[in-house]
Amino acid sequence: MNKNLMPTYSRLPISFEKGKGVWVFDKNKTKYLDGLSGIAVNTLGHNHPGLVKAISNQAKKLIHISNYYHIEEQSVLANKLVKLSKLSSVFFCNSGCEANEAAIKLARLHGHKLGIDTPNIIVMEGGFHGRTMGTLSASGGRKYQAGFEPLMSGFIRVPFDNIDSIEKISGKKNKVSAIFVEPIQGEGGINIPNNFKQYLKKLRQICNQNKWLLIFDEVQCGIGRTGKWFAHQHSSVKPDVMTLAKGLGSGMPIGACIANKTATQLMEPGKHGSTFGGNPLACSAGIATLNAIEKESLIKNASEQGLLIVNILRKEFKNNKNIVSIRSLGLMIGIELRSPCSKCVNIALEKKLLINVTAENVIRLLPPLIINKTEAKLLADRLTNVIKTFLNNL
């Protein structure tokens, strides 16, 4: 532990030197299977030739220039994202929380346009949107908020996957301007709405009826992870605003807030900005990531390998009372155990596997989208072993 680092993380006693594909290597050249991708970030795994080439070439040309100028790489990436999302415009930033801050500002602008002086945003229990004051205020769960009061006001919290509680608010004229929700909750424990399509459809209907913006936080579930470009595309619903980050640059820091026409029109020069956001280097990584996803059919691969992993786990733990449920869409996989299981992370490390535990008792898998069949099977086998070891020592 380095005392010169602010103690924001309790770190595992290991560090890595390099990576290749789904593998990372420590100083002793011991190799670990990466089932986490730096929390859904390394879409293309490690040391992907296309990505490395794109950012090396870009670094030689131009790393940063200000948004005071036109940036070609930014335009190319924006065009791609607009096409894939069928939305209208993109604001680039450097992280998920920044993308969400932009979305929250759009929701506020929209509220004011509706004639509401102090507009509220409906957010979810178990939701996670980041660590800035705005996004931590929007996040559910006291653990992110405790000690940081006063929080930002203007959020109304409702249970996730519960339409009734929103309908009650919509009837009462609660000065709302938007619903802000992760289509699939990541940090909250890989929570997938029971009837995904119906839930999103209802959210859309309520927003239409009340002139609210529907904002999807796809920072974790976007960019091919669930077997579609964006998780909401498993339904027919389109949001007014969508935020992205994690997997977008495959490791280079980049975030995006994407808006439809209505939401785009709320913005004008001077109302929002970012010094680094959308710089040529970050955008070149975004372009390379999206290109590789297309070229290597990684979205299809995410569906297939996700199924393979989950099928093995389901078979291994069928009728096991210690497993509450196995939830997944593509390569976004959560295994909920009956008891807190953070120890699984250390057991996995011993077995040369990188995983994470979220919401105390949910093992979270977010492997790179380039994972192949052999590696997916190995991942499932190693994890099975980890869970069995954990349960045997309960």
The residues binding ligand PLP (CB under 6 A) are 95-97, 100, 128-130, 182, 186-187, 217, 219-220, 245-246
- Cβ 95 to ligand PLP, closest distance in Å? 3
Q: Pairing relation of β-strands 362-365 and 332-337?
A: antiparallel
Nearest approach, Cβ of residue 247 and ligand PLP (Å): 10
Give the nearer residue to ligand PLP in terms of CB position, either 95 or 177.
Answer: 95
Residue written as token pair 């979220």 = 358
Of 84 and 102, nearer to ligand PLP (C-beta) is 102
Which residue, 186 or 224, has its beta carbon nearer to ligand PLP? 186
Q: What are the φ and ψ backbone dihedral angles of 22, each rounded to 5 degrees?
A: -90, 5
Nearer to ligand PLP, 90 or 97 (CB): 97
CB atoms within 10 A of CB 342: 13
- Among 19, 48, 55, 50, smallest CA distance to 36 is for 19
Q: Closest approach of Cβ 282 to ligand PLP, in Å?
A: 13
Q: Compute the least distance from the CB of residue 150 to ligand PLP, in Å.
A: 21
State how far the Cα of 338 lies from the Cα of 194, in Å rounded to an integer: 20
Nearest distance in Å: CB 335, ligand PLP: 18
Q: How far apart (Å, rounded) are the C-alpha atoms in residues 33 and 382?
A: 9
Q: How far apart are CA 107 and CA 263, in angstroms?
A: 8
d(CA 382, CA 367): 13
Q: What is the DSSP string of 226-238?
A: TSSSSGGGGSS--
Nearer Cβ to ligand PLP, position 110 or 129?
Answer: 129
Which residue lies nearer to ligand PLP by CB, 176 or 248? 248
Name the closest residue to ligand PLP (Cβ). Answer: 96
CB atoms within 10 A of CB 179: 27
Q: What torsion do the CA atoms of 265, 271, 272, 273 make, to the nearest 10 degrees?
A: 110
Minimum CB distance to ligand PLP, residue 185 (Å): 8
CB 94 → ligand PLP: shortest distance, Å? 8
36 DSSP 8-state letter: S
Task: Give the Cα separation of 223 and 294 in Å (integer).
Answer: 11
Nearer to ligand PLP, 241 or 391 (CB): 241
